[in-house]
């Protein structure tokens, strides 16, 4: 089996580099710098881009022959804002990566922190999420990540003033609800927030979380079963 090579942002290459890549794909050989001798290579190429290569071909900005040489199997990966279910998984992955890199202990994030991540439109996709998690880990002074560790533009896009974020978020929710369902829905959301927040703060120790909230441990267990 030959080697594999990733060509990232291939839509940004100029025509000279496109021609060289096309030659490698067609002739399966390369010439090292400073050498006139060609070397045969056996390589599988994976190309990635955030641009529409077919449109670039039509605009004469990308070689048509290279496009069809590359376009054997096309995988369309939607932007992060269109696959929000992936955000918690990616967050956990990056969190553990940077915890290890910076030798920090982080037990998790507040529900509001996670809500901001879920609501943001992510123009920079996964790279932006990765950078934001790294920033939060670096700036964290405790073991819980909260919204104060997020860049201002994220909180602003979420339409939350940092000083009274939770109240503003609840009022926004109230505006979206139909009359007659407001009380029960908002009370349930507040209770869910408190339960999640207490568990995170107490490192998921339910006995300590119950003490923190002023609840009997059995009451906490019952409430946790109801919100699942």
3-state secondary structure the chain: CCEEEEECCHHHCCHHHHHHHHHHHHHCEECCCCCCCCEECCEEEEECCCCCHHHHHHCCCCCHHHHHHHCCCCCCCCCHHHCHHHHHHHHHHHHHHHHHHHCCCCCEECHHHHHHHHHCCCCCHHHHHHHHHHHHHHHCCCCEECHHHCCHHHHHHCCCCHHHHHHHHHHHHHHHCCCCCHHHHHHHHHHHHHHHHHHHHCCCCHHHHHHHHCCCHHHHHHHHHHHC
Q: What is the pLDDT of residue 228?
A: 57
Residues whose CB falls within 8 Å of the CB of residue 35, separated by 6 or more in sequence, listed in order: none
Tens-binned pLDDT, residue by residue, of the chain (228 aa) = 567 788 888 999 998 999 988 988 888 888 887 777 888 888 888 999 988 899 999 999 999 999 999 998 888 888 898 898 899 999 999 999 999 999 999 988 887 788 888 888 898 899 999 999 999 999 999 888 988 899 887 876 654 444 455 666 677 778 788 888 888 888 888 888 788 777 766 767 888 888 888 888 888 888 888 765
- Which residues of the chain form CATH 1.10.8.60? 80-227
| Architecture (CATH level 2) of domain 80-227 | Orthogonal Bundle (1.10)
Contact between 222 and 186 under an 8 Å Cβ cutoff? The reply is: no
Q: What is the pLDDT of residue 203?
A: 67
| Architecture (CATH level 2) of domain 3-70 | 3-Layer(aba) Sandwich (3.40)
Q: What backbone torsions phi and psi does residue 89 show, to the nearest 5 degrees?
A: -65, -45
d(CA 121, CA 184): 29
pTM as predicted: 0.59
Q: What is the pLDDT of residue 133?
A: 97
Structure tokens at 19: 């021609």
Contact between 207 and 217 under an 8 Å Cβ cutoff? The reply is: yes
CA-to-CA dists, residue 40 to 8, 136, 151, 162, angstroms? 23, 47, 49, 59
Q: For the chain, how big is the Rg over CA atoms in Å?
A: 25
Contact between 133 and 96 under an 8 Å Cβ cutoff? The reply is: no
- Which residues of the chain form CATH 3.40.50.300? 3-70
d(CA 8, CA 221): 49
Structure tokens at 74: 């096309």
Q: What is the pLDDT of residue 162?
A: 47
d(CA 45, CA 26): 12
């Amino acid at each position: 089996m030959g080697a594999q090579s990733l060509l990232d942002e291939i839509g940004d290459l100029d025509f000279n580099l496109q021609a060289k890549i096309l030659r490698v794909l067609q002739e399966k050989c390369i010439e090292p710098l400073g050498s006139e001798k060609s070397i045969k290579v056996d390589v599988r190429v994976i190309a990635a881009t955030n641009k529409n290569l077919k449109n670039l071909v039509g605009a004469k900005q990308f070689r048509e022959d290279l496009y069809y040489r590359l376009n054997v199997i096309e995988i369309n990966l939607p932007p992060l804002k269109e696959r929000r279910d992936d955000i918690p998984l990616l967050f956990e992955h990056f969190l553990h990566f940077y915890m290890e890199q910076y030798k920090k202990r982080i037990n998790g994030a507040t529900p509001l922190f996670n809500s901001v991540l879920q609501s943001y439109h992510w123009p920079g996709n996964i790279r932006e999420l990765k950078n934001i998690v790294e920033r939060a880990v670096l700036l964290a002074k405790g073991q819980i990540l909260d919204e104060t560790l997020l860049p201002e533009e994220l909180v602003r896009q979420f339409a939350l003033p940092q000083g009274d974020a939770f109240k503003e978020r609840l009022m926004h929710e109230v505006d979206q609800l139909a009359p007659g369902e407001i009380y029960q829905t908002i009370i349930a959301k507040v209770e869910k927030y408190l339960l999640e927040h207490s568990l995170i703060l107490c490192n998921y120790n339910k006995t300590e979380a119950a003490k923190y909230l002023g609840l009997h441990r059995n009451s906490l267990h019952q409430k946790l079963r109801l919100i699942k």
